[in-house]
């Protein structure tokens, strides 16, 4: 009888987590799970790989979404600004290529090459990473901060890059840059999460 209680508790936890986790995704302050995904160069990439990174700017994006395209050069600029300060960009494409042929691995390779991506561009083939993060659209951005010297990462910012997707020259508020200024100073971001329109992630049909 004594053994049954932990067993039932474990069952309950499993049931609850399977319902709650994939839909809810992360909130600011949550621990972010590491992943191992295939980069456009064929090599596997994990958050743990880069021992010197203080964190990462993880962005779910893709080839085909007009909003992702509108933000592409701004994502490259984020990497150029923050990689040297310890926060490189990691781009992840979560779209099912069966539903979005322009998001195939070969198309990702071509895109990364033609735009000279200075960061990894990873394929989330099972879509599990996007699900566990709670990404719903492209682009959808997460700033992660390394805890101590280990391989544990905490979510510091979730949301939009800035307040004008259409025109970078008309941006008034740079949400990610504002958050990064505070995060780099060791403070929590005043605006920890923001909303933005984007293309729904093309989830594999069950």
Partner 1 sequence: MKLFPLAAALLFALPSQAQQVALIKLPELQKRLSRKTDTTYVINFWATWCAPCVKELPYFEQVNTTYAKQKVKVLLISMDYASQLDKKVKPFVLKRGLKSEVVLLNEADPNTWMDKVDGKWSGALPFTLMINNSKQKRVAYEKEFTQPELTAALQKFLQ
Which residue's CB is nearer to partner 1, number 104 or number 136? 136
Least separation in angstroms between CB 14 and partner 1: 25
The closest alpha carbon to 58, from 138, 147, 172, belongs to 138
> What's the closest the beta carbon of residue 61 comes to partner 1, in angstroms?
14
CA distances from 5 to 1, 12, 97 (A): 7, 10, 44
Q: Between 51 and 172, whose beta carbon lies closer to partner 1?
A: 172
Residues within the interface to partner 1 (CB under 8 A): 65-66, 100, 136-137, 140, 159-160, 163-164, 166, 170, 172-173, 175, 194-202
Residue 168 CA to residue 174 CA, distance in Å, equals: 10
In the complex, minimum distance from the CB of residue 95 to partner 1, in angstroms, rounded to a whole number: 11
The nearer residue to partner 1, 97 or 198, going by C-beta atoms, is: 198
| Range list of H helices, 47-193 | 66-82, 105-114, 128-133, 175-184
Strands 89-93 vs 121-123: parallel, antiparallel or unpaired: parallel
Query: Please, which residue, 29 or 66, has the CB nearer to partner 1?
Result: 66
Q: Least distance (Å) from partner 1 to the CB of residue 55?
A: 22
Q: Is 59 helix (H, G, I), strand (E, B) or coil?
A: strand
């Amino acid at each position: 009888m004594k053994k049954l209680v932990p067993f039932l508790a474990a069952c309950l936890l499993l049931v609850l987590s399977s319902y709650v986790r994939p839909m809810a995704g992360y909130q600011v302050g949550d621990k972010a799970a590491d992943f191992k995904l295939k980069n456009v160069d064929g090599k596997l990439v994990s958050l743990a790989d880069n021992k010197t990174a203080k964190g990462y700017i993880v962005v779910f994006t893709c080839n085909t979404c007009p909003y992702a395209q509108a933000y592409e050069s701004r994502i490259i600029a984020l990497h150029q600004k923050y990689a040297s300060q310890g926060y490189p960009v990691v781009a992840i494409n979560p779209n099912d290529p069966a539903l979005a042929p322009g998001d195939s691995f070969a198309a990702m390779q071509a895109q990364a090459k033609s735009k000279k991506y200075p960061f990894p561009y990873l394929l989330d083939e099972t879509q599990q990473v996007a699900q566990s993060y709670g990404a719903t659209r492209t682009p959808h951005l997460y700033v992660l901060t390394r805890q101590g010297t280990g391989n544990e990462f905490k979510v510091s910012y979730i949301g939009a890059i800035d307040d004008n997707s259409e025109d970078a020259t008309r941006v008034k508020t740079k949400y990610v840059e504002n958050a990064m200024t505070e995060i780099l100073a060791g403070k929590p971001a005043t605006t920890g999460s923001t909303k933005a329109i984007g293309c729904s992630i093309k989830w594999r049909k069950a």
